Structure 1
Amino acid sequence: MSGRIEVWAPDGLPEVGAGDDLAGLVLAAVGADLADGDVLCVTSKVVSKAEGRTRAGDREAAVAEETERVVAQRGATRIVRHRLGLTMAAAGVDASNVAPGSVVLLPLDPDRSARGLRREVAARAGTNVGVVVTDTAGRAWRQGQTDIAIGAAGLVVAEDHAGRTDAYGNPLAVTLPAVADEIAGAAELVQGKLTGRPLAVVRGRADLVLPPGEDGTGAVALVRPEGGDLFGYGAREAVVRALGGDDADRAPFGEAVPLAELQSAVGRVVGRGRAMSSTLSLTFDGQPDHDELRLPEGSDRTAVAAVCFAHGWRIRRWEETVAGVVCDLSPVST
């Protein structure tokens, strides 16, 4: 038995404007070719246009409005955490394929948009399809961009292989193919960027399409929660945020690390081969009270505080003695 998928993108979809019947346009373009188990992929841009998310005016103001926080910035390039939780350049605000002087923002709720399109296709054509709303994004450590799923309905968005074994009997502990993103990337191959084909159909993975009436988790399930990403800030931004020490900036650094890991990190900054130790102080009933680091004489408090901040800890007391520095610490809950 061999695996095979088909992907095609129809020509002829007209320019979409606010209030247009997107489901009707989609069915006019591909309705006769649709079958149960197909996956409809539509670009976020046409969804946004139909939902009135196009505006005239300043692109920078739109980016600021859609940004939850800046992740990294190099010159004019800004990578931000979007209000939807997505991490992307310029908050997904796009000035291409739109009238000069206008920009397109991402849909307010791409999963909801996908659910609405899925329901309309089922109601009008009687066809059970999955729907993916796609957008273009860059990748850390990789040049170029690819399309990803920012909205989905009626589709398994990730296949959890945890607990399975491979052909050699090795357990698959963390294998989680993001199949919705893979489908979005396949669709982009036939849609292109300059061909006027914002719609594509992917056939051959009906096993991922959910039964009628079941919409699934949506693409939001693919978004890592704040603090769960190992790269919550860019390299430069992480240094600045840690030195600044603002509690509002803690969440992207994640949960507090064990004391031994903190000691190792502090040691790299101020230890320089000199003796360090850590102890855990207990209350009268045996419960943890506070943790203590004993640091070499002359340790830099600002540097230690920044390392502690980045690892989820706070300095409660800093005492310089003839034997060195005693630093009482407590973990911070984010």
Structure 2
Amino acid sequence: MVGPHPEIVVRAPDGIGEIEAGCDLAAVLVEALVRAYGDDALRDGDVLVVTSKVVSKAEGRVVEGDREAWVDAETVRPVARRGPTRIVRNRLGLIMAAAGVDASNVAAGSAVLLPLDPDASARALRARVHELAGVTVGVVVTDTAGRAWREGQTDIAIGAAGLEVLSSFAGRLDAHGNELAVTAPAVADEIASAVELAQGKLGARPCGILRGRADLVLPLEDDGPGAGALIRPEGGDLFGWGAREAVVRAVAASPSDLAPFGAPVPAEDLVDALGRAGLGAARRLDADADADVLVVDDARADAVRAVAFAHGWTCEDAAGGSGIRLRRATT
């Protein structure tokens, strides 16, 4: 693999007006880039970065009506809530505030929804740019998102085409000979944030070019996995529910809420969790050869049920003399 260029250049042109539904977005962006930077506006190996808002506007995703109703429509399930702020998993699988529904920079009473398929939008832009300018670029469609453990927001890739979105360093050695096991830079997100620095939140610059990482750009016939490859599957996130929401969902124990907690844990992990919760010792049911059945004696059934549910186990009964029987859930 060719290594990264020693210099990375980021450009974001001015002069892009309001985007209307049905416009040739790629043509508008290429024209703005050529007007700003001339013949050197686009090269093979550049990465074109475009905000999801202008993609959505071009695709007719501006809607009228109550914003909260549109948040509901775009939501698959809630994740966390703090006052009026709702963090949800939306129909694209993204964990975002308000499902990514944006009411800024549009007429009052309107809102902008995320593109129906951001990866498909990126692929269409890539093909059209090649048609117009004769260059092979990578494309990233971005949106702004918060982070679970840090203040502030950054831009992330919600759509991508023709780009290696995730670099794997697993198996490589560092300078001291240590093997890297899990290092995997999300380069599409890094590119999104780097270009946002040039765009600015109030700069009216909805696109930009990053130059210097042609090693990440794929051949024209290969659109790559898209930004969807960066989304963890349901149950694959260690924080599928917010801290308070997790308690509520575990106590309610609705089967439809089980998946975000992740795959059922081994029996020994549940035994450990019950012990840490002060709920007494669990034992295997002697009369049952099934290794996935546990019995907890002399404990509060409601608390045992909640802890078990959060770990992928269900409570079968709570008969006084026979203890509380737990069985690994099946999905």
Pairwise mapping of residues 186-225 of structure 1 onto structure 2 (< 5 A)? Answer: 186-225=194-233
RMSD (Å), alpha carbons: 1.6
Pairwise mapping of residues 174-323 of structure 1 onto structure 2 (< 5 A)? Answer: 174-271=182-279, 276-279=281-284, 288=290, 290-295=292-297, 297=298, 299-321=299-321
Pairwise mapping of residues 73-152 of structure 1 onto structure 2 (< 5 A)? Answer: 73-152=81-160
Equivalent position SS for 2:209: strand
- Work out whether residues 5 and 212 of structure 2, in 8 Å CA contact, stay in contact via their aligned partners in 1: no
Equivalent position SS for 1:180: helix
Change (3 A) 1:270 1:227: same
Quick one: distance in 2 between partners of 1:180 and 1:136? 13
- Work out whether residues 284 and 291 of structure 2, in 8 Å CA contact, stay in contact via their aligned partners in 1: no
Change (3 A) 1:280 1:175: farther
Quick one: distance in 1 between partners of 2:292 and 2:194? 53
**Counterpart check, 1:15 vs 2:23:** no
Any idea what the Cα deviations from partners look like across 1:209-258, whole Å, max 9, x if unmatched? 00111100000000010000011111111001000010001010000111
1:173 aligns with 181
- Work out whether residues 5 and 213 of structure 2, in 8 Å CA contact, stay in contact via their aligned partners in 1: no
1:270 CA drift (Å): 3.5
- Work out whether residues 9 and 191 of structure 1, in 8 Å CA contact, stay in contact via their aligned partners in 2: yes
Any idea what the Cα deviations from partners look like across 1:268-320, whole Å, max 9, x if unmatched? 2244xx6x24226586xxx636422343x3x1100000000000001223343
Quick one: distance in 2 between partners of 1:221 and 1:282? 46
Change (3 A) 1:2 1:310: same
Give, as a single letter, the amino acid of the residue that structure 2 aligns with 1:196: A
- Work out whether residues 118 and 129 of structure 1, in 8 Å CA contact, stay in contact via their aligned partners in 2: yes
1:25 aligns with 28
Structure 2 residue runs without a partner (length 5+): none
1:26 CA drift (Å): 1.1
Give, as a single letter, the amino acid of the residue that structure 2 aligns with 1:221: A
Give, as a single letter, the amino acid of the residue that structure 2 aligns with 1:53: R
Quick one: distance in 2 between partners of 1:290 and 1:97? 55
Give, as a single letter, the amino acid of the residue that structure 2 aligns with 1:302: D
Quick one: distance in 1 between partners of 2:268 and 2:225? 38
Give the paired residue count. Answer: 323
Give, as a single letter, the amino acid of the residue that structure 2 aligns with 1:293: V
Any idea what the Cα deviations from partners look like across 1:106-159, whole Å, max 9, x if unmatched? 000000000000001111211000000000000001101000000000000000
Equivalent position SS for 1:316: strand
Change (3 A) 1:242 1:277: closer
TM-score using structure 1 length: 0.93
Any idea what the Cα deviations from partners look like across 1:146-194, whole Å, max 9, x if unmatched? 0000000000000011111111111111111000000000010000111
- Work out whether residues 281 and 289 of structure 1, in 8 Å CA contact, stay in contact via their aligned partners in 2: no
- Work out whether residues 281 and 292 of structure 1, in 8 Å CA contact, stay in contact via their aligned partners in 2: no
- Work out whether residues 270 and 304 of structure 1, in 8 Å CA contact, stay in contact via their aligned partners in 2: no
The 10-residue stretch of structure 1 (312-321 or 36-45) with the greater mean CA deviation from structure 2: 312-321
How many percent of aligned residue pairs carry the same amino acid? Answer: 60
Quick one: distance in 2 between partners of 1:152 and 1:277? 49
Any idea what the Cα deviations from partners look like across 1:91-118, whole Å, max 9, x if unmatched? 1111111122211110000000000000
Change (3 A) 1:35 1:290: closer
Change (3 A) 1:281 1:173: farther
The 10-residue stretch of structure 1 (53-62 or 40-49) with the greater mean CA deviation from structure 2: 53-62
1:327 aligns with 324
Structure 1 residue runs without a partner (length 5+): none
Quick one: distance in 2 between partners of 1:207 and 1:197? 26
